[in-house]
Structure 1
Amino acid sequence: MAGGGFAATAGGTEFEAKITPIVIISCIMAATGGLMFGYDVGVSGGVTSMPDFLKKFFPVVHRKTQEGLDSNYCKYDNQGLQLFTSSLYLAGLTATFFASYTTRNLGRKPTMLIAGIFFIIGVVLNAGAQDLAMLIIGRILLGCGVGFANQAVPLFLSEIAPTRIRGGLNILFQLNVTIGILFANLVNYGTAKIKGGWGWRLSLGLAGIPALLLTVGSLLVVDTPNSLIERGRLEEGKAVLRRIRGTDNIEPEYLELVEASRIAKEVKHPFRNLLMRRNRPQLVIAVALQIFQQFTGINAIMFYAPVLFKSLGFGGDASLYSAVITGAVNVLSTIVSIYSVDKAGRRVLLLEAGVQMFISQTAIAVILGLKVKDHSENLDKGFAIMVVVLVCTYVAAFAWSWGPLGWLIPSETFPLETRSAGQSVTVCVNLVFTFVIAQAFLSMLCHFKYGIFLFFSGWVLIMSFFVLFLLPETKNIPIEEMTERVWKRHWYWKRFMDDDVKGEIGITSTDATKKGRSCFPIDINLNIGLDV
């Protein structure tokens, strides 16, 4: 399983790195955090379409679905039902700030362990819920797990992977998200048929499997060299670097990590440092990618796929079956991304997917506008198949682009001194807008009707122009060389780098270069002038 290879740095030195078994195993185990996240995303939509679940916790919605008096688009419009789904993301939003502290001060590995513990407790409460309060508290604990896992796992994957396959290994997190969604859809398809009204408990309880995998995996993996060195454990970090790279020739990479760590330690307030001028490109792109990722409309479809298809006139079994199909497409397309992201590059995948998503969403809106009436019983079979095909086309495009790359690009572009803080902001913004979409989607579906797909397609158009003009390519660039090789060469973002230090810490980048460094001299305190 080991293979040779090198990753060039800006200075012409080479970082030797083999693809070692320990790297592959560590990444697979860490990525199970994505499996848990994906299962939570997928299971809620199926459970909220189960009559027994609705009857116990949301009797008003159950009555509306049984009586059939409401519009097809409005029968699931209920704030309490939406809160069941969205409370997880609100809790994750809060937890990510605590996760930033643990990721920076305790390491990536303990943070993943904390996430696993939160997940397990949340699963127990959800599966045994006797009332709505118990159900929501369980979802909140799951959300805390999401906050910790989404903070630590992408950082872990980016830091432990050799440069030339960093994109592919990082996407293991997103691949596991899609597998989790598919697993949840399959479980819901089976449990919906269980008699006796307890099928939903099994659906929620089986989340314990990925929760246990993440917990056990976090105990078995090694922490990243970046994290160990950042916390002053230099020899241990060097030993781990030697193990994961499969070579004794690690000195160039080790010295670069030590230098990055030295700079990181001089930053006493990483969140304030994020606001400095030279960190603005990474911050803007990380925030924009998370907002855009949610406004593709993907979570609206994944959260509520069974409800959505049922609302559009599909029968109960057909709606769950359609959700399983879209889940399978999601997994397969994410595998496409793993193979292509480090070859084709990030920008090509995002731009191609933008065209594909825009066309498919617009076509869905046209079909629904012409063929789905407010109280029609079912969509014609031919048109129903066409809608599923178009949804799959859309999901495929998202799965090999905005899904994985929305996490990959921010995790690989922030410098070490702001990396955990930057990842916190990334997760925070993602969860804010995930919460907004989850809380608002069923109401939007009720009021916009088929126009909701036009709403999301308009956003796809905007984000594609953003990628075209403002997103630089980051494939095959060593993670500590992004400033020199990406930001300082970009037609727009380079203006934030030309005098990135002047006026803030009393030295120009030219002066730094003269001293033979790509970063900063040892005697500079980066905490000066952070009030920009």
Structure 2
Amino acid sequence: MSREPYLTLNKASGPNSTTRTEPFVKVIAVVATLGGLLFGYDTGVISGALLFMGPELNLTPFTTGLVTSSLLFGAAFGALISGHFAAAAGRKKIILVLAIIFAIGALGTSMAPDVEWMIFFRLVLGVAVGGAAATVPVYIAEIAPANRRGQLVTLQELMIVSGQMLAYISNAGFNAAWGGETTWRWMLAVATLPAVLLFFGMMFMPDTPRWYAMKGRLAEARKVLERTRARQDVEWELTEIEETLAEEEQQRPRLRELRKPWLFKLFFIGMGIAVIQQLTGVNTIMYYAPTMLKAVGMDDSAALFATIANGAISVLMTFVGIWLLGKIGRRTMTMLGQFGCTACLVFIGAVTFFMPETINGEPDMLRSYMVLLGMLMFLSFQQGALSPVTWLLLSEIFPTRLRGIFMGGAVFAMWIANFLISLMFPVLLASVGLAGAFFIFALVGIAGAIFVIKCVPETRNRSLEQIEHYLHETLSRDAAPAHEALGRPLNKTS
């Protein structure tokens, strides 16, 4: 069977198409990424809600930690479950089910009568958060045209950080408007609205052409392509999808296929890409920023204001990340983000270690603002490079038939790493201090940089089918080390 559709990149259509993106594709991306908005809101809102729910739910330090981290634990299994069923049920149906779970979780946490029910509904909410993290990028990647896949998939990251910033603003707004102990219930309940919008919006969206083709429903696949592609691109892409699926073993996708060496290598690379994003310590800054800033001398109001600044810089830099993805390669962007984040971790560690804590008996405010500067620089590299390209690479590198289950496994690993780091950070802070904690993250960041150099592939300017053939061939070669094959720059043909 000819592989010309996969290997020739100087076409007028496909990855190098200059045709405009169909408006319906943008509508699909906006509706689907409401899942990302919910992801961000539900992970960010707890930082403010904890200030008010403690007395009513009789929270102890241990149960406070459980309330915070239970969502992350549930998210790990939500990613795994949704990935397992994505191939059978379809990407659209999974997102519809997740919208219902989002609504149940939001209402359940807002009405929880005690800490046990709060932890239970946070676990439920976590299932939806993890499922959205695993499913939405795959859905958009499979439905977006190749020449706009990068920007449209990273809209998910923009919605995540926007959701986190909205949570910080919502927390402050509800407190300013009403105050009192019941404020936290409104903070949590408001997430029901985007969950309802996500459900009804997805009712009118199609499933992806690749899922329809995988199920043998080629007429429906063509209809979706006709609504989401320029006319001259439809036949090219449908042929490419059909040929790739014809070459794959048409059986139910299972993790036991990892016995194939190239798939094992690819799954390992995907898990590594997912985990190194968390090992930078990004969520210690997102979840514990007020605690860290208070530890270096800021008062409560200054620390809370700085948290909003973190959210704002995250949103701003995600726009930069989306722009960069149209200009530079995925591999280059991953290296930029990883190296930049690691340098900022060293900077924060050095500031907290070498600068004096007090001057004339008063906290050294210059030290406090230098730490804040380090956090903002860190988030600039994280949200402007590393986070957007992480979600994009995970949505691109796995084969069509196995994409759902492999994505679920990789995001499961990401959430477990997030859960463990978030759970252990207060202990790390108490045992080695802020400087020690950031130096440890920096050492881990150096190991992550080595992984990026050796293992992360370049996928820009290729369709999903071209990426699949490219990785299959390079990872199956025994003669050349994997990082040499994966790290090669793209040529006109590969």
Q: TM-score, normalised by structure 2?
A: 0.89
Alignment of 1:130-529 (within 5 A): 130-193=113-176, 194-247=178-231, 249-264=233-248, 266-370=250-354, 379-450=363-434, 451-486=436-471, 488-489=473-474, 493=475, 495=477
In the aligned structure 2, how far is the partner of 1:379 from the partner of 1:487? 57
Greater CA drift, 203-212 or 37-46: 203-212
What's the secondary structure of 2:477's corresponding residue?
helix
**How many aligned residue pairs are there?**
471
- Alignment gaps of 5+ in structure 2: 483-494
Aligned to 1:33: 35
What's the secondary structure of 1:344's corresponding residue?
coil
Are positions 1:113 and 2:96 aligned together? yes
Q: Quote how far apart the aligned CAs of 1:340 are.
A: 1.0
Deviations 1:109-164 (A, max 9, x none): 11111111001011111111221012112211111111321222011111111112
Same amino acid, percent of matched pairs: 28
Deviations 1:323-378 (A, max 9, x none): 1001111111111111111321112222222332222222212222345769x997
In the aligned structure 2, how far is the partner of 1:150 from the partner of 1:104? 16
The amino acid across from 1:57 in the alignment is: L
The alignment yields a C-alpha RMSD, in angstroms, of: 2.6
What's the secondary structure of 1:477's corresponding residue?
coil
In the aligned structure 2, how far is the partner of 1:445 from the partner of 1:90? 21
1:82 to 65, 70, 77: 65
Note closer, same or farther for the CA distance 1:79–1:371 as it changes in structure 2 (3 Å cut).
farther
2:85 to 94, 102, 106: 102
Are positions 1:56 and 2:56 aligned together? yes
Q: Quote how far apart the aligned CAs of 1:486 are.
A: 4.8
Q: Quote how far apart the aligned CAs of 1:313 are.
A: 3.3
Deviations 1:146-205 (A, max 9, x none): 132122201111111111221111101111111011111112233344432222222212
Residues 5, 240 of structure 2: 8 Å contact kept: no
Structure with more helix by fraction: 2
What's the secondary structure of 1:266's corresponding residue?
coil
In the aligned structure 2, how far is the partner of 1:485 from the partner of 1:318? 51
In the aligned structure 2, how far is the partner of 1:196 from the partner of 1:19? 49
Note closer, same or farther for the CA distance 1:168–1:343 as it changes in structure 2 (3 Å cut).
same
Aligned to 2:492: none
In the aligned structure 1, how far is the partner of 2:56 from the partner of 2:368? 31
In the aligned structure 1, how far is the partner of 2:35 from the partner of 2:431? 35
Aligned to 1:21: 23
Are positions 1:125 and 2:108 aligned together? yes
Note closer, same or farther for the CA distance 1:399–1:378 as it changes in structure 2 (3 Å cut).
farther
Note closer, same or farther for the CA distance 1:130–1:264 as it changes in structure 2 (3 Å cut).
farther
The amino acid across from 1:226 in the alignment is: R
Q: TM-score, normalised by structure 1?
A: 0.83
Note closer, same or farther for the CA distance 1:209–1:494 as it changes in structure 2 (3 Å cut).
same
In the aligned structure 2, how far is the partner of 1:378 from the partner of 1:103? 57
